[in-house]
């Protein structure tokens, strides 16, 4: 049985007044491009085309890997680079200035290896 295709009016390039973001404690907000609103159509297999102006505003290029997250009734899409930036921002205050976690980990592993050799 063939499904009837719903007609959705095409509206594009409509700018909205800037709205307050929906902040999350785990997701620090950074200044973003102006709010944009476009209507898009869900394609076969669940494909969705992100409008070019939005991709450009987010720095997305062909081949980028994206994070897609369902948050309540909203779908959030962002680049891996943006995800990394968010994690680094969250962790920034947890590591004291001038401390290298890598150096500390290597030193700890060397102590453990020396202890194991001494126990043999």
Overall pTM > 0.75: no
Question: Using CA atoms, how far apart are residues 73 and 69, in angstroms rounded to an integer?
Answer: 10
pLDDT of residue 32: 59
Q: What is the pLDDT at residue 10?
A: 47
64 in a domain, yes or no?
yes
pLDDT tens, per residue, the chain with 120 residues: 455 555 444 444 444 444 444 445 455 455 556 788 999 999 999 999 999 999 999 989 999 999 999 999 999 999 999 999 999 888 888 888 888 889 999 999 999 999 999 987
Task: Determine, yes or no, domain membership for 21.
Answer: yes
What φ, ψ does residue 98 adopt, rounded to 5°?
A: 85, 0
Rounded Cα distance between 86 and 80, Å, is 10
Tell me which residue range forms the domain holding 111. Answer: 14-119
What pLDDT sits at residue 94?
A: 87
Please report whether residue 108 resides in a domain: yes
Q: What is the pLDDT of residue 33?
A: 61
* Residue 7 placed within a domain: no
Residue 58 lies in a domain: yes
Within 8 A by CB and 6+ apart from 80, the residues are 64, 65, 66, 67
**Residue 65 within a domain:** yes
pLDDT of res. 91: 85
Position 6 in a domain: no
pLDDT score of 29: 53
Domains contained in the chain, number? 1
pLDDT at 117: 92
């Amino acid at each position: 049985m063939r499904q009837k295709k719903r007609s959705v009016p095409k509206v594009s390039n409509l700018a909205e007044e800037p709205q307050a973001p929906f902040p999350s404690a785990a997701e620090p907000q950074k200044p973003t491009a102006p709010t944009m609103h476009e209507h898009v159509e869900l394609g076969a297999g669940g494909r969705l085309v992100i409008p070019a102006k939005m991709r450009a505003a987010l720095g997305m290029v062909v081949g980028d890997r994206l994070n897609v997250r369902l948050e309540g009734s909203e779908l959030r899409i962002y680049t891996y680079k943006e995800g990394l930036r968010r994690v680094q921002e969250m962790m920034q205050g947890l590591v004291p200035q001038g401390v290298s976690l890598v150096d500390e980990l290597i030193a700890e592993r060397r102590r453990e290896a020396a202890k194991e050799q001494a126990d043999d």
